[in-house]
Amino acid sequence: MIALSIRQPWAHFIIHGAAGRFKDVENREWRTPFRGRCLIHASKSGTRKDFDAQVAAVAEALGVDPKLRFDDVSRGGVIGDVEIYDCVDSFDSPWFMGPHGFLLRDPRPMVFARLPGRLSFFNITGDQLAGRTGAEA
């Protein structure tokens, strides 16, 4: 299956939302023709300082405190999947920052599967997901 690695807290907001509002767009510097379900891989990269600043920006943009802490989110593996149904250059959403946005819907959390990520889209097989949960691998 196709996967996309995304830094936290953005991956968390795609799959779990913030105060009931799911991140409905993934911002990228590049466009994609891909449409369909995509695994969301939570990247290992990112600092606590950046994470806290991003959570604060979400709180301000949405007018709610998502009460999300750095140590509360999984990193370095697949956390769920979502449907990418379009790619746009503008979108009426507090989550859109451009220049391009992959429009997302129907997020589904899954049991954390620790796997390495990559840049851009990459493939993960069912065999790679099977048995690769939690602190294993």
**Model confidence pLDDT, tens digit, residues 41-67:** 999 998 999 999 999 988 988 888 888
Model's pTM, two decimal places?
0.89
pLDDT band at 132 (very low <50, low <70, confident <90, very high): low
What is the domain partition of the chain in residue ranges? 2-114
8-26 burial, b at 16+ Cβ within 10 Å, e below that, comes to bbbbbbbbbebeebbbbbb
Instruction: Yes or no: say if 23 and 60 are a contact pair by the CB < 8 Å rule.
Output: no
CA torsion 59-50-10-91 (nearest 10°) is 70
Phi-psi region of 46 (alpha: psi -120 to 50; beta: other; left: phi over 0): left
pLDDT band at 131 (very low <50, low <70, confident <90, very high): low
Which homologous superfamily is 2-114 in?
Hypothetical protein. (2.30.130.30)
Residues 6+ apart with CB under 8 A from 62: 18, 19, 21, 94
